[in-house]
Structure 1
């Protein structure tokens, strides 16, 4: 794990927290990392692409924030546990886990892209479970912690070509709600459900029908910084306030 730090760019009454953000090399994860660093927290950016992580971290620290990096594939539970252990060993604690890694491999069910179905479940669902398993023992031991997980507006609706994707996001919503009910009140759980957001997700769709449909659907996409601000709001609330879910979507998104 590599670390760089600088003068905090923005301060307030919120205590400085140690935050691990997955999927932080681009899109929503990058925006969340930038927003939380700007709020004065130390952010550990985790993803598979080391070069992208290094670039974003350098920009955060150049702006006065505190950040470090960890290369991580969330589908590997042992690797996830090692990253969390390393954060705790270096900083003495982990306060927030932002589980943001995800894929959006849309396709018609009739296309039978079963390898993509498996990949979607592995990243979007199992990746969340691996994060919970890695971080929860530390949260329970230290008597505090906060899980923030990115679901989607797809957790609340199903549209053509998105059956598997929406199923995984429904699962994330259910996991987070069940987790919240099982946790002691000192450990919080927040689900962030974005609508259409500017990101790389649609670039990885291989189904031509689904890919074409995304062109029009994504015309009203909002900047990922909007999601970053939502996460910062949930994290910044006092410990006795649990922001359970935030839905953030373009004003023009209908439905």
Structure 2
């Protein structure tokens, strides 16, 4: 009888760019961790999740939110960090004060290199997702720990206790958000009126970068903010500097919006086409 051939282990020479999404689950698949994982896969990164809450929602709105215990969230984060490792973190919906504090503690303990915080407070449908006390905790606990925050104009107005923010107020609004503790601020201009949109990035050294582009006519915008913050986290994990990561993240989302503009899925705000230009999983040196 022939002896079995012993298996030879292949020594590892590379690894994946590892991105962790700490966010809520969207049963409709268009936003939250579902959008994050689709974005990460499309950009060639290895996506992982720590789920904060489970929502019952679709393209028309959020029906209910079921929070997961903060202790379970902490265990999810620790499990993936201790075994797989994390190159960048995207943070989405954090529904209560206890969850915010768990995430802040995890960032401090694990010393994540890149943290992109999307302060998700209002869904595309208009549904409010968190309370005022949670917003206050988010600002005090997480803004100083983030690499970048990415509020839309409605969220920025809520954070600054303003009725609205117009095109002429973007600079001042970004500066006020930075004064709350965020090192860098990306103000997303999708809620500006008119055919032209402006996104503004305020950097830690007070430099400002702007991107202007024509509005893409589509109702399929569900998950745009989730996808953008995830795309930025991916590019940071892959080694891009912040301005480059934001620019490349914007390019991905605009491509996904254009590719999905004429699609029909559901009866409300449909999703982006995350798979419009998929990339093979990237290999990084060990």
TM-score (norm. length: structure 2) = 0.41
Bigger CA radius of gyration: 2
Structure (1/2) with the larger helix percentage = 1
